[in-house]
């Protein structure tokens, strides 16, 4: 304690040196810490489910576009595939919801009856959507599960919400449960407020039931590459086996779905990651370099100050101070400065980092709801990135009512790439 007291008094006697070192270290630590937190939140944080590393998402495409999977096709894929324990269909969109006389635009996620077992979800209240809620895509139960975040923020954590009724698109839905804390859907930066049975969106908004992604757990010994190879064989067979006359005509006009994608879903699906992952890695590396340079500079300043204190140290030695005590005092001063700088840095980091993450998430969510409100019933473009290229595809916030309108909307949007529909109009 006496050494710490002496170190504190020594730093007080040199205010310029102390303030300079503290601010330099605080800025460096705060910079790399904030960027690291942001990188983790956007690109590295795993889904809050059991063993997320086993999860993979499958979705077919046509050229550079993303297409959906009809429920009967997904059932046929499940019958033929051997690399997943089971595949469940997931979709996404936005609709108007009225709860306790308050109406707002909310993001929904549609899941089929096997998603709860695939994700191994344990609800906070009530139960999650199960197979009994989706006997067939044409006859889903009119039920809903609220996300934990939405339940806490909008309903104040009211435990009596289970069994109550919400109104979506003028259709009453019975709330059967509240989702688990920490889990906010597989679309991590656009998490749903309400989860509904896949197929219910056709009753609410007039779309044909369509899954955007098929999510599953890889069987032991299977990898993403082996799953991709298997699905490239299974998908054309399942698509051909379930193609109706109408879809056969569309197939002849548009070309066969020729791209099959299987990707890890350990960290969920994220537009923010697609757009900013590389930039965040680069910025975090730059922040680490800045931190290293700051440490070198501070070390040099300490060395110069120690040399300048040679007379003071000789006097202490003449008064009986041992070499170990003198070295310990200098080390205590350094540790004290680092501790103060770290406290300031982590305080600022927690505030600024949380603000950046909240701003990015809220801005993206607000834009999605705005576009969904303006273009209800129309397809939206979203940007997806594979390992080798980025591509644009229709995002299913509001699927069009017919395949023809879907194709026309897609072609028009791909031609104009309107700034009013996408937040980043530059595809590359």
State pLDDT tens for residues 211-230.
888 999 999 999 999 999 99
pLDDT of 337 above 60? yes
Question: Is residue 110 included in any domain, yes or no?
Answer: yes
The model carries a pTM of: 0.69
| Residue 421 maps to a domain | no
Q: Do 174 and 281 share a structural domain?
A: no
55 pLDDT band, cuts 50/70/90, is very high
The pLDDT of residue 267 is above 50: yes
Q: What is the pLDDT of residue 248?
A: 55
- pLDDT recorded at residue 178: 94
Query: Residue 394: which domain range?
Result: 376-416
Whether 347 and 222 map to the same domain: the answer is no
130 in the same domain as 256: yes
Partnered with residue 414 across adjacent β-strands are none
Domain assignment of residue 425, yes or no: no
Would 259 be classed as within a structural domain?
Answer: yes
Distances (CA, A) of 345 to 32, 297, 340, 348: 10, 18, 9, 5
Residues 88, 165 within the same domain: yes
Give the mean model confidence (pLDDT) for residues 252-277: 77
- Given a cut of 70, whether residue 397 has pLDDT beyond it is no
Same domain assignment for residues 284 and 199: no
Number of domains in the chain: 3
CA of residue 192 relative to chain centroid, distance: 12
317 falls within a domain: yes
Percent of the chain residues past pLDDT 70, beyond the cut: 76
Bridge partners of residue 394, in order along the sequence: 381
Over 70: is that where the pLDDT of 295 sits? yes
Mean local confidence (pLDDT), 79-105: 89
The three-point CA angle 113-114-115 to 5° equals 100
- Asked if pLDDT for residue 420 goes beyond 50, the answer is no
Q: Judge residue 216's burial from the number of C-beta atoms within 10 Å of its C-beta, 0-12 exposed, 13-18 middle, 19 or more buried.
A: buried
Q: How confident is the model at residue 257 (pLDDT cuts 50, 70, 90)?
A: low
What is the H or E stretch that residue 370 is in?
A: helix 323-374
Q: Is 408 exposed, middle or buried (0-12, 13-18, 19+ CB in 10 A)?
A: middle
pLDDT at 25 over 70: yes
Residue 271 inside a domain? The answer is no
Strands 65-66 vs 55-62: parallel, antiparallel or unpaired: antiparallel
pLDDT at residue 378 tops 80: no
Residues 76 and 162 sit within 8 Å (Cβ to Cβ): no
State yes or no: pLDDT of 112 exceeds 60: yes
**Same domain, residue pair 302 and 248:** no
Residue 117 CA to residue 51 CA, distance in Å, equals 13
Read off the pLDDT band of 423 (50, 70, 90): very low
- Helix axes 15-39 and 271-308, enclosed angle (nearest 10): 160
CB 313 within 8 A of CB 47: no
Tens of pLDDT, residue by residue over 229-252, are 999 999 888 888 887 644 555 555
- Other Cβ atoms less than 10 A from the Cβ of 356: the count is 16
First to last CA, the chain: 59
Helix or strand or coil: residue 198? Answer: coil
């Amino acid at each position: 304690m006496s050494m710490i007291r002496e170190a504190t008094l020594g730093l007080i006697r040199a205010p310029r040196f102390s303030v300079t070192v503290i601010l330099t270290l605080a800025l460096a630590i705060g910079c790399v810490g904030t960027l690291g937190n942001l990188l983790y939140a956007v690109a590295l944080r795993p889904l809050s489910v059991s063993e997320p590393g086993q999860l993979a998402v499958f979705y077919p495409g046509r050229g550079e576009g993303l297409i959906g999977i009809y429920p009967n096709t997904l059932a046929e894929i499940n019958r033929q595939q051997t690399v997943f324990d089971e595949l469940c269909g997931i979709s996404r969109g936005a609709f108007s919801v009225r709860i306790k006389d308050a109406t707002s635009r909310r993001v929904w996620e549609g899941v089929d009856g096997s998603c709860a077992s695939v994700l191994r979800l344990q609800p906070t209240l009530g139960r999650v959507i199960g197979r009994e809620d989706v006997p067939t895509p044409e006859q889903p139960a009119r039920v809903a599960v609220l996300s934990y975040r939405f339940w806490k923020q909008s309903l104040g954590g009211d435990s009596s919400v289970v069994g109550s009724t919400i109104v979506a698109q003028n259709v009453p839905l019975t709330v059967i449960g509240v989702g688990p804390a920490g889990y906010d859907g597989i679309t991590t930066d656009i998490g749903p407020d309400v989860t509904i049975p896949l197929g219910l969106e056709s009753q609410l908004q007039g779309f044909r039931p369509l899954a955007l992604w098929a999510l599953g757990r890889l069987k032991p010994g299977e990898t993403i590459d082996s799953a991709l190879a298997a699905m490239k064989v299974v998908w054309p067979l399942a698509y051909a086996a379930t193609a109706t006359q109408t879809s056969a005509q569309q197939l002849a006009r548009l070309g066969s779905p020729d791209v099959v994608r299987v990707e890890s879903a350990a960290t969920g699906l994220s537009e923010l990651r697609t757009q900013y992952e590389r930039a965040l890695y680069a910025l975090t590396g730059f922040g680490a370099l800045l931190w290293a340079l700051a440490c070198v500079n501070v070390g040099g300043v300490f060395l110069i100050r120690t040399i300048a204190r040679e007379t003071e140290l000789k006097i202490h030695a003449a008064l009986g101070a041992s070499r170990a005590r003198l070295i310990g005092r200098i080390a205590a001063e350094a540790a004290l400065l680092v501790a103060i700088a770290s406290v300031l840095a982590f305080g600022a980091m927690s505030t600024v980092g949380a603000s950046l993450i909240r701003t990015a998430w809220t801005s993206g969510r607000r834009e999605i709801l705005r576009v969904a409100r303006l273009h209800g019933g129309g397809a939206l473009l979203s940007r997806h990135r594979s390992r080798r290229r980025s591509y644009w595809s229709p995002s299913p916030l509001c699927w069009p009512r017919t395949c023809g309108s879907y194709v026309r909307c897609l072609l028009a949007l791909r031609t104009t790439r309107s700034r009013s529909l996408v937040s980043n109009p530059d595809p590359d």
